[in-house]
Structure formats: C-alpha cells, structure tokens
Structure 1
Amino acid sequence: MTQLTMLAWSLVGCAVPSDIATGTSSPSNLSRTETRLHWIVDKLNSTEQLRGEDLAPELDTASFSPEDAERLLTYLNSVIRPQGPFVVVRFQRLPGGDDGLVALLRSRWGILTDLTFTSSTDGKVASWFFAASESIPPPATSFEEIKRRLKEISPETSLLVQRSRSGRQLTDVGLHSAEVKPMSSIFKLYVLGAVAAQVGDGTLSWKDQVVVSDDKKSPGTGTLRDTPAGTHISVHDAAKAMIGTSDNTAANILMDLVGEKALTRAVEDLGHHDPKLLSPFLSPHDMFGLTAGRNTDVAASWATSDQETKRAIIASLGEEHVEPSAMASDRAFWTQGLDWFASVEDISQAFRKLRLMVSKDPKLGEVLESTINGPAIDQLAFLSSKSGSAPGVQSTALMAELKDGTVVTAVAQVVLRDGVEMLDLRRDEISSLVADALRIASRRTSGG
C-alpha cells in the first residue's frame, strides 16, 4: 500500500488506537519526534503554497516514491492547508515503540483531525496521514487537575481563579499568583483602558477616525496591516480589532493616538502592582524592531538598561519595517526583558476594572465582549477573553459575568526559557485548561 493510499483511506475510517501512551518529554528539551511534529505543523500553516523542495528532503525515499511525494504535496495544498491554520490540542506517542506521534489538530473552523506520522531510523518522515477524529480533549474536572496539567507543560506556571460579587472576592486557585511573568499581547488591555479613559473624559470619541499608515503596520496577528495606507477606521473598530483579533497594527495606531502619559496612567488605574515594569511602554512596532529587526544586538542589553537608555534605543528604531520571515520562533526573548510584564493578579485586576467601566460606557463592552465559543457556563451574561503568545510565552485570561452579578476570572501565564517550540504545540491545551477553570469556578457560584 502506498503512502498516499494510506492517507486517503485514513480520512474515511482509520481510528487512532485507544492504547496510545502519553509522551513525557522534558519541557526544556524537544525529542526528535516532537521536533518533527513542529516541522509538520509549520508546513501545514504555511501562508504560501508548498513546493516539492519544501517536503522532499524530509521524506524517506524508501517509503515515498517521487509519485507518492507529488500526490502528497497536491493533497496538502488542495485539501489540508485550506483548513488551517491548525493548532495542536495534544499529542501522544505511538504504541509499540514506533518512532512517531499522533497529534490531535484543530482547524480554524474547530474541526478536529488526527495527524499520525512515523519516522525512519535516520529521522525522515516514513508515513504521514490524517483521520477525521472522534476524540475530544478531555476537560479537566478539578482545579488540582488543571494545576497538575499546566505544571507538566512548564513548572514556571502561574494561575489565578477568582470570584467576586457585591464587593466580596474569593480566590479559588492562587498558584504563584504574585510572580511577575511576560504576558505578551494581554498588554492590550491597558491600551484599551487608556482609550476608554480618554473617551470618558471627552478627549476622544469612539466614532473618531484614525488612519492606517505604513509606519504603523506590524507583522504578527491582525489584518489591518494588509489594508492600503490611508485607510480610515473608527477608534471603536480599531479597539475591537486590537482585542478581538489581537491586531498589532491597531495597537500601534491607538497607542500613538493616546500617548505614553495616558498609557502610564491606565496601567496605574487598572491596578498594576508595579507600573514601572511597563515603562517605557513598548508598542508592537517597538517589540518587533527589538527582537526581529536590525537592532537585536542593542536589545541584548535591554534588561540591564536604565529608563533613559531604553528610550534612546526605542528612538533609534525609527520606522524600520520588519518582515514576518525575520521573526524567530525558536528563541525566547522575554528572558532579556523584552516583553510586557505583569502577574496574574495584575491581569485579573485589569479585567475586573475594565468590566466596571462598562456600566458607564456600553461601547467599551462591545469591544470587550468575546466572539469566541467559550466554555459552557450556566447563567452566563457576559464573556471576555484575551490571550498573548510569543516564543516561550503563553498567557490566557478569561472573564465571565453571571446573571446574578458574579464576576469570575481565570488567568494563566506559562513560560519556557529553553525548548520553546514545545510550547507552540501546547498553546491550545493551555487555553482549554483556563476555560475549564472558569467553568468549574462558575458552577461553584451557581451551585452546579
């Protein structure tokens, strides 16, 4: 049976063995098979059509004839890649000592697919096929399970789950909750706070128009960077893009609009325990310039530089445009002090204070309200979410308000210093566990 026949057959009926053993790789050291999984997912998520030379060097020639390789390439480009991008929900080793993995992938439409591959003795791909998955990631059933599973991903994990109502606050889980860690794109909550404050005092209106310019375009998440320079967009729509799709270009525009003083004030007003950690307040443009631009050698001294030196470094960046291809994914730069830093307590506090502001500004609620399919929660009145990711960083925050007025927050920060590719394979699992924490806490409140 050729590899292509195996692939096509598996799509219509091949079930994954139920006795697959769970992988137990070290968080700081990817195994060969995990590195191969990372390579496969990277190819599936490529924004460009795959070419023969992208695959051929990594395929075992004893298993894949040239014709098989060509048919596989066509199949990936025409059937599989259009469903992406994919995230890895979980992965497990194959039974029987085979050098391979089965990974549960989730497509952009939420469809679950089992990817199975094996490797030859020299590390080449010996088989590679897909199956419509009937497996569903097992939800966590207790806070202890959630903590255990997060710490298995990385011992450097913080988790905070809280409930509050009528001025009373209860902490269900507090794991290293005061420790400062990188939060990546969750910093955009503070940008939103600055915008909302200026709307509140009349300096801005949600209807005001801002302009997309080339110097504000940043790679990474979001689609505003693809709009022509000169495009007008309302402050409200820019804020929705910044929170809803974590649009980096929208964040650049809004940060420039409100100014650093307003950002600093928002960090204070939203309850950050040490606002100096976010001073100077880096924009996505600054961050990409420091981590992927021409100034990475200067950025190496960022963590030990004083405020004046940091501001001089930022000023030296100018309007440099960073190509997405220059963004490294295999090296953590948060260890050099290059990220936005807070604790899960800070993030939870910021979310709660923003929610309080909604009572005076319903338009802010439209920005905050999540459009994702969240956890199944009885009596849910409002759900908001924000996450952030960078090499070696995954931060996830959820806030729910129940119909009785109870506000529930669940926030996690998971970081790795080495072997950061492994975290790319577990991001969806982390988010699912945080959603489980929110669900469990909400049921405690509602008596479920």
Structure 2
Amino acid sequence: MIDLPGSGLPGSDASVHPDVQAALDGDGTPLGQRTRWAVKLLTAPAAPRDEDLSGNFVSVFLARFPQGFAATLQQWRELGPFTVTDYQPVAHKSWVTLEGPAGVRSTLSLTLDSTGLIRVLHLGPETVTPPVHGWDDLARALEQPGVTWSALVTREEGGVTRTLYAKDADRPMPNGSSYKLYLMRALAQAVAAGAVRWDDEVTVTPALRSLPTGDMQELPDGTRVAVRETAYKMIAMSDNTAADLIQDLLGRDAVERAVAEGGHSDPSLLRPFLTSHEVFEIGWGDPRLRARWATADENGRRCLLERIDGPMTVRGSDLGPTVHQLGLDWHMSAWDVTRVLGALAEDGVRDTSGIVDDILAAYPGVPVDSARWPRVVFKGGSCPGVMMFCWLLEDPDGVRCTLVLQQCADDQKLIGDGQFLRGMGGRVIASGLLDGTPR
C-alpha cells in the first residue's frame, strides 16, 4: 500500500555468480536496459549530470531531490568501485547486488512505472536471508522481539488440502494491500455477471486520487482508463488509486459481499470496507478523525466516511505512527488470505477470456522456476508497522500450494522495508518444502 524504497529483495545467500554480468548484459527487455543504465551510473568513470538523468526517471522521483539527484549518486559512487555479483529481474522490478571494497555488498533496487521510466531507484545494504531447509528455520528467522507474526503453508492435491506448516494462522492481522484480492474477486464476479466489461472505463477524479504505491494518482483529472488496465495496475503494481477506482465502480456493498463469499472468518472486521484514500485520510490526517474512528461502531464509521468524501488532504510525508491498532487497515488471518487466493484461482479457471489469470499472474513477487510452478499468484501488502506477502503456486499437474507470511508491530522500524520477509518467502518456495523434497 505504501512505497518502500528498496523493498522486495528476494532471498540471498551472499554467493557470487560468475555469469551474472553476462545475464545483465544480455537482458534485452526494457527492465534490463534500464537496470544496465542504472548500474552504469555507479560504475562509469564519470558521474552523470542532473540534466542527463531526466529522460530516464519519472518526474516525481527527481522532485524528491531538490538539490539534484546527481549529488546522491555521487555519495553512492563513493562506496565503490563495484562489481556486479547478482541480478534478479521480476516483471517490472529488479535487484542488483554490488560488491564494493573489502567485500561490502549493497543492493541496487529498481522499479519501472507503467510508462517504462524508473519510479524507484535505491541503494542500500544487502539483506541476507538465512537458508530454509525445514520449518524450524523459517520460525527462527521470523521470531523477532516486538514483532507479531503468522505463517501458513498449504498443499491442495486431489481435492484434499493439507497443512504443511501453520503458526497462529487463525489470528486476524493487518495486511495492507492484500485487501485488493477481495476487490479483484468482486470485479471478476461483476464481469462474469455481465454488470461490468473489461473495456469499460473509470475516471480519475480528485476524490478518488490516493497516494502511492502506483502511478495512477499522477494522471490528470478526468483521465479515463479501461477497467482491464486499472485492474492490472491494482494487482501487478499494487496501485492504490487503481484500487479506489475499482471500488468506486463496484460499490462498497459489492466488495463486502465478496469478503463474505471469499471465506473470511469474520467479515465484520472488514465492514465498512475501506479504500486506501480513507485509510490515509483518517490514519494520518486530522487527529480528531482517528479518535472518532477508534470509538465508533460500524454505523458510526460509515457516517464518518461520508464526511471525508472529498479530495485527500494527506501527503506521503505525513505518514508516521502506526494506526493498524485502531482498525485502520484490512484485518485477515492467514487462513482468510489462503481462502481468497483459492477463490481467485477458481475465478481464473472459470474466466474463458483468460484476462483474470493474466492479471493475477502478472507479477510473481520473487524469481520462480516457471517449469516447476507455471502458474503463480502473488500479492504483497504494507503500511506503517505492517508487512505481508502471499503466494498461490500451481504445478503442471494442477497441485496448488499457498504460502502466507504476515508481520505487524507497533514500531515501523521493527518491520523494515519488507526485503527480509519477501526474501524468506523466496527461500521457502525454492527450498522444496512445498512438495516434500527439501533441497
């Protein structure tokens, strides 16, 4: 739900791959081309000038550096000289591990926006995740002081679902952007019923504009976007404005029905079903709104939402203290997440157009062996003090596995930027534990 610089680094064991530079040099995709250019910013003999950068970045990125981004690049370059030791591209994101003097390793993370320009570029210390050979390894890695966590791993084969691992999987927890799974369910149902068509359009307005993640909030007022493109951005790029546009199209009632039909164990936790705009506005706007929300019942909260139905007053820089304790988030247990993932997978099977599956599988979250898992559904979620990642993976024989990892804390610093948790998800997927053959 929120932009986290550098977030999402897949698991690393700090090993050097000698063919990495060749893989980066040979990647002819737009992502590969932008990544090579970004690496050269740090490794070229001369530092670039600010006027040489604007054609590669979205304007809002460069606007974050009033003194010029070249000055920040120079600070990064002083940590070198660098050698590329790992390159991991996934859809519209990439991570490059760079080794500097004395073996110090950093990660350069890059995210493209829908226009192909760089939206996020961040250099930070490498996050190393421990190997996972058994479920005890996962538990030891996630057990951290001050952090509440849960995990659930299931395997469905022949109509029978088996629990491979569970830790507090029945406990509702804040989940950030995974709420968009319910929006996708409601949309798939509306399309199947003929109430909405994929080529219908939604319109960007001030009252529906949210904060990043995503880029639709930067579109001019009155811009019309196809439902299919909006849904793609909502899932693949976790675009908050896209999600709010879809919810406005469907109506809050329809989404709340999808929550109940999607198997949520306590749908009242998601009533009223909040938009990202509403969470931002109540959570970090007028403190009197937070106080009223915290003490109000469902009807009182619905009345409060009507009062803030207008353009957002909160900016990204206003986000600070955690607010999930006040119910300002979307609370789901790991089992709830698993059930909605399964329901969406079935929606994809029923959709003869293939559009639902195309949207769900657009971004796998981590590098995944496509021969082993040709179908992957992924969603992540974050908010101050909240982090979660979930996957549904299907093998060539139709066997489905789900993996849900959730964290929350009262202090955002204890959660971090998500690199570690997502990396642990990548570790589990690569471990062989999902099919009973640990590697």
Using the size of structure 2 for normalisation, the TM-score is: 0.72
Q: How does 1:7-26 map to 2 (within 5 A)?
A: none
Q: Is 1:241 the counterpart of 2:233 in the alignment?
A: yes
What code does the residue aligned with 2:229 have?
D
- Per the alignment, do residues 74 and 213 of structure 1 end up closer, same or farther by CA in structure 2, a change over 3 Å counting? same
| 1:47–1:358 distance in 2 versus 1, CA, 3 Å | same
Q: What is residue 28 of structure 2 aligned with on the other side?
A: none
* Cα offset, 1:152, TM superposition: 2.3
Q: Please name the residue that 1:431 is paired with.
A: 422
AA aligned to 1:178 is D
Aligned to 2:407: 414
User: 2:110 touches 2:121 (CA, 8 Å); kept in 1?
Assistant: no
Report the secondary structure of 1:140's partner residue. Answer: coil
- Structure 1 vs Structure 2 CA RMSD: 3.3
2:337 maps to what in 1? 347
Q: Provide the secondary structure at the position in 1 that maps to 2:110.
A: coil
* CA displacement at 1:158 relative to structure 2: 0.3
Correspondence for 2:110: 108
Aligned residues: 352
Q: 1:205 to 1:79 in 2, by over 3 A?
A: farther
Identify the match of residue 396 of structure 1 among 389, 392, 400: 389
* 1:311 maps to 2:302: yes
2:162 matched residue in structure 1: 170
Q: Match of 1:75, as an amino acid?
A: Q
Contact 1:219-1:322 at 8 Å conserved across structures: no
2:377 is the alignment partner of 1:384: yes
CA contact (8 A) 2:203 2:223 kept: yes
CA–CA separation in structure 1 for the residues paired with 2:124 and 2:254: 48
Q: Which residue pairs with 2:282 in the alignment? A: 290
Change (3 A) 1:416 1:335: same
Distance 1:428 1:88 in 2: 13
1:76 to partner: Cα distance: 3.9
Amino acid at match of 2:362: S
In structure 1, distance between residues paired with 2:198 and 2:428: 34
**Alpha-carbon distance between aligned partners in 2 of 1:327 and 1:370, rounded to the nearest angstrom:** 31
Distance 1:304 1:403 in 2: 50
Percent pairwise identity:
26
Residues 404 and 87 (structure 1 numbering): CA distance in 2 closer, same or farther, change over 3 Å? closer
Task: Find the residue that maps to 2:376 and give its secondary structure.
Answer: strand
Q: Which residue of 2 aligns with 1:199?
A: 191
Partner of residue 8, structure 2? none
Q: What is the CA-CA distance between 1:136 and the residue it aligns to?
A: 6.2
Seen in structure 2, the aligned counterparts of structure 1 residues 159 and 332 have a Cα distance that, compared at 3 Å, is same
In structure 2, what is the equivalent of residue 300 of structure 1?
Answer: 291
CA contact (8 A) 1:146 1:433 kept: yes
**Counterpart amino acid of 2:185?**
G
- Which of 129, 139, 149 is equivalent to 2:141? 149
Query: Structure 1 residues 114 and 207, CA, compared in 2 at 3 Å: closer, same or farther?
Result: closer
The match for 2:322 among 318, 332, 339 is 332
- Please say if residues 184 and 395 of structure 1, whose CA atoms lie closer than 8 Å, have aligned partners that are also in contact: yes
1:86 to 1:205, Cα distance in 2 relative to 1, 3 A: closer
* Kept in 2: contact 1:408–1:442 (CA 8 A): no
In the TM superposition, what is the alpha-carbon distance from 1:286 to its structure 2 partner? 0.8
Contact 1:292/1:326 (<8 A) preserved: no
Inter-CA distance 207–325: structure 2 relative to 1 (3 Å threshold): closer
User: How far 1:370 sits from its partner (Å)?
Assistant: 3.4
Q: 1:270 aligns with which of 262, 277, 296?
A: 262
Q: Which residue pairs with 1:161 in the alignment? A: 153
**For structure 2, which runs of at least 5 residues remain unmatched after alignment?**
1-13, 15-60, 80-92, 113-119
Q: Which of 335, 346, 357 is the aligned partner of 2:347?
A: 357
SS at match of 2:143: helix
2:56 equivalent in structure 1: none
Residue 220 of structure 1 deviates from its aligned partner by 2.1
Q: Deviations over 1:232-263 (max 9, x none)?
A: 21111111100011111111111011112211
1:257–1:270 distance in 2 versus 1, CA, 3 Å: same
Contact in 2 for aligned 1:291/1:327 (Cα 8 Å): no
Q: Deviations over 1:92-125 (max 9, x none)?
A: xxx9xxxxxx774341179999857xxxxxxxxx
Change (3 A) 1:75 1:440: same
Q: Which deviations, in whole Å up to 9, do the C-alpha atoms of 1:257-311 show, x marking residues without a partner?
A: 11122111100111101111100010011111101223x3221242331111101
